[in-house]
Structure 1
Amino acid sequence: MFALAWLGFWLLVMLPSQVMLAQLARDLDPGRKVRLASTFQGVMLVAIVLAVPLAGFLCDRTRLAWGRRRAWALGGFTLAALAFALVGQSDSVPVVCGLLVLVAFGQAGVLVALSAMIADQVPVNQRGRASAAFGAPQVVALAGGMALVTEVIHDVSTAWWVIAVLALACCLPFLLGVGEPAPPARTRPVGGLLHNLTPPRPRRAPDYYWAMSTRVLINAGNLVGTAYLLYYVGDALHRPDPEGAALTLTLVYLVFCLVATYAAGLISDRRPRRKPLVLAGAAFQIAAALSLAVSPTWETALLAAALLGVGYGTFLSVDQVLTTEVLPDERTRARDLGLVNAAQNLPIAPMVGFAVLTLTNENYRALYAASALIVLLGAWSVTRIRSVS
């Protein structure tokens, strides 16, 4: 049921960034589709970057008999789903941007609450599997969701409210059916608002910031390569059915990602060495991006989809565990995980994607070279972590 709740969250997160915002931008203004898609992504990412630390601070300080994490997750799901359903009904760019901000605020509440549950309740030697329950639904959400919004539902406005309803339905079994233990007295935050919103000092928690850098860069590199996939298969590969081709590549990617997520999670629990698995995941992603930069063909794209799936799946299952092991204070877990997750949503990918495609006259080889470079920087960051092997 925990994995099902994450499935609902990933439906609201993955589908807009991968295909739904691209569809919406294309329908609103085909001539400015890249600019609009980048703007919509940037608005959501900036909003969640700002909202997550505050949501984490408030979640840590909430005391409810029903469950502080459950309350924030349920409230976040409700807000995000309602706003999400309305996005597709609007043909006004400012209104869409405003609704996307509300979606991001709801996502922030869900993200800090569900992430903190892993650190709160799961023993260290089982966190690889718990992290797989966090990461694997991302794969299922993207595969099933893309099939739904590209092959089954052809009306953009209908797709937005259908996904919203599905996401809300996915969270209810866990949030309404599974209890949450009361937090120990020692985990009660101390100090005022400014103290608890202030991030830990880098000198006190260097590994925490290196883990944050790893998360930010590897996710950004992955998103640079995948966010413009719909345009890549149409404009660079010249496939006659861009949406069908994008779905095929996504399904290949997701099958390999799902297998790698579970396998890496089990390996991580049995042999608790996190960094080598993160590095292996980064290496596969770099290989995928470089293959597309060197040879933009359909056959290469299929190979790259498989490599990217193995790489990102491995990263997904281990990075969350690594992050929980470098948290500087058990009293501020939601805040500190929230800061990592907020940083992960910095609008690096849309900024890089827009800049590269604009400056190079939509040269996708340059885009994938940039993707490889960003992931490489993320791999270097994980080597700087000292407290986790």
Structure 2
Amino acid sequence: MAQTETTQPQRQSLRFLWLYALAVAGGAVSYVPFLTLLLPLRAQDMAGEGAIDLLAYIAFAGAISASLGNIAFGWASDRTGTRRPWIFAGLALSFALLVSVPTAQDTVPLIVLIIGWQFGLNMMLGPLAAWAGDVVPDEQKGFLGGLLSFAPALGAASGALVTIPGLASPDERLWLVAGLVAAMVLPVLLLGQPRAMPQLMTSEAEAAPKPRRFKRSAVSRMWLARLLVQIAEAALFAYLLIWFTGIDPSFTDNDTARIFAIVLVLSVPAALLAGRWSDRHDRPILPLALGAGIGAVGLVLMALSGDLRGAIAGYVVFGLSTSVFLALHSSQTLRVLPRPETRGRDLGLFNLTNTVPSLIMPWLTLSLVPVFGFAGLFLVLAVLTALATGLLLTMPRSN
């Protein structure tokens, strides 16, 4: 009997991994089409020429509430020792607030509603991220990272779906988005049934004398490396179209969207292959370092490009490599967090690397582009991503 209890399954079921990846993609669907398409259109109808200012206020308030909510609800799920009820509650609250957006007829109510929606959304996303750390062993974290690369691609695809002309009115689009999110998140909550992984819930003190795989400094290195790459990502996301049209005025927003889509589609098999390789060879950090390093090369190519073809090629190199980096980083971060009892809170702190760049990037751009042009900006971003590569390549291990 004792022997039976010690032979715990060491690998999580593929069924749960795929359902979990679908739920994470549902998280992307919950905010990508709304924040990039539906909310700007609503702000324009509401504020007219003041839409830019309104969206700036919403972005700032939303980033703050998302950051605080992710940390708070990750911590709450740690304290209660369970993730699913928080994910259920966050899904229900974010659903209700999203479809309530049409009731906000003025700017202040809209901002308040978005703040509440961000709290509800991160009540779902924070515990959902921590759940993977509870049940996915290290031997499958690379594969999990590859599956997570579907999330941004499906987030972008959902925006194209809900805005098909004649499919739905502006208010109905909100219901369509909310319905898609529920359809993608509920299966893992109702049908996931992950295998228990008690070894993943063992605290550092209880794990002794087994040595930790990574030293404590690995946590700060992983955090800083992602922040540096995300600053470059945020800058490219915000200013890529402006840069392309500066090279070729005939280049359109639709052309930029197609390039984004191509990069996202290509990143899925690349991340799956890189994740599988890292699992098979027990090299979890090397693909991250390579992703950041190749991203730096892409930025240098962009800085040196003199025509549109070279500019596009440089961006594809950057976008593909950093998309793989970000997908795998999300899963491999779970390796280095030292305390399972604070996993949700700690992942909330890592989530700051997704929100803080939006506060840093505008000042960096305004200080560099007027003086040195976009080439100067890209070279500085290349240095930042190269620093991320160095942090990861020199990450110390305990064994």
TM-score by length of 1: 0.80
Report which of the two structures shows the higher radius of gyration computed on alpha carbons. 2
CA contact (8 A) 2:137 2:200 kept: no
Tell me which residue corresponds to 2:160. 147
Tell me which residue corresponds to 1:216. 227
Distance in 2 separating the partners of 1:336 and 1:11: 24
Deviation at 1:171, TM superposition (A): 0.8
Deviation at 1:183, TM superposition (A): 8.4
Distance in 1 separating the partners of 2:66 and 2:54: 19
**Partner deviation per Cα, 1:218-261 (whole Å, 9 max, x = no partner):** 2232122113445555676434642x223211111112211211
Tell me which residue corresponds to 2:355. 346
Bigger shift: residues 41-50 or 289-298: 289-298
Deviation at 1:56, TM superposition (A): 1.4
CA contact (8 A) 2:150 2:268 kept: yes
Deviation at 1:42, TM superposition (A): 2.6
Tell me which residue corresponds to 1:162. 176
- Runs of 4+ aligned residues of structure 1 deviating over 6 Å after TM superposition are none
1:135 aligned residue (140, 149, 170) = 149
Matches within 5 A, 1:239-258: 239=250, 241-242=252-253, 244-258=254-268
Tell me which residue corresponds to 2:9. none
Q: Does 1:332 align with 2:366?
A: no
Deviation at 1:278, TM superposition (A): 1.0
Distance in 1 separating the partners of 2:255 and 2:42: 18
Residue type at the aligned position of 1:12: S
1:294–1:146 distance in 2 versus 1, CA, 3 Å:
farther
Tell me which residue corresponds to 2:13. none
Deviation at 1:136, TM superposition (A): 2.3
Report the 3-state secondary structure (helix = DSSP H, G, I; strand = E; otherwise coil) of the residue aligned with 1:387. coil
**What is the total number of aligned residue pairs between the two structures?**
368
Deviation at 1:8, TM superposition (A): 0.7
CA contact (8 A) 2:134 2:201 kept: no
Deviation at 1:267, TM superposition (A): 1.0
Matches within 5 A, 1:358-377: 360=369, 364-365=374-375, 368-377=378-387
CA contact (8 A) 2:202 2:340 kept: no
Distance in 2 separating the partners of 1:60 and 1:111: 14
Tell me which residue corresponds to 1:12. 30
Bigger shift: residues 133-142 or 10-19: 10-19
Residue type at the aligned position of 2:341: R
Distance in 2 separating the partners of 1:17 and 1:297: 32
Tell me which residue corresponds to 1:225. 236
**Which consecutive unaligned segments of at least 5 residues does structure 1 have?**
190-203
1:51–1:173 distance in 2 versus 1, CA, 3 Å:
same
CA contact (8 A) 1:88 1:161 kept: no
Tell me which residue corresponds to 1:259. 269
Residue type at the aligned position of 1:282: A
Tell me which residue corresponds to 1:278. 288
CA contact (8 A) 2:24 2:151 kept: yes
Tell me which residue corresponds to 1:117. 131
TM-score by length of 2: 0.78
Tell me which residue corresponds to 1:46. 64
Deviation at 1:281, TM superposition (A): 0.8
1:357–1:256 distance in 2 versus 1, CA, 3 Å:
farther
Distance in 1 separating the partners of 2:380 and 2:163: 28
CA contact (8 A) 1:260 1:313 kept: no
1:91–1:350 distance in 2 versus 1, CA, 3 Å:
farther
Tell me which residue corresponds to 1:60. 78
Tell me how large the CA RMSD over aligned residues is.
3.5
Deviation at 1:146, TM superposition (A): 3.6
Tell me which residue corresponds to 1:76. 90
Deviation at 1:269, TM superposition (A): 0.7
Distance in 2 separating the partners of 1:307 and 1:24: 35
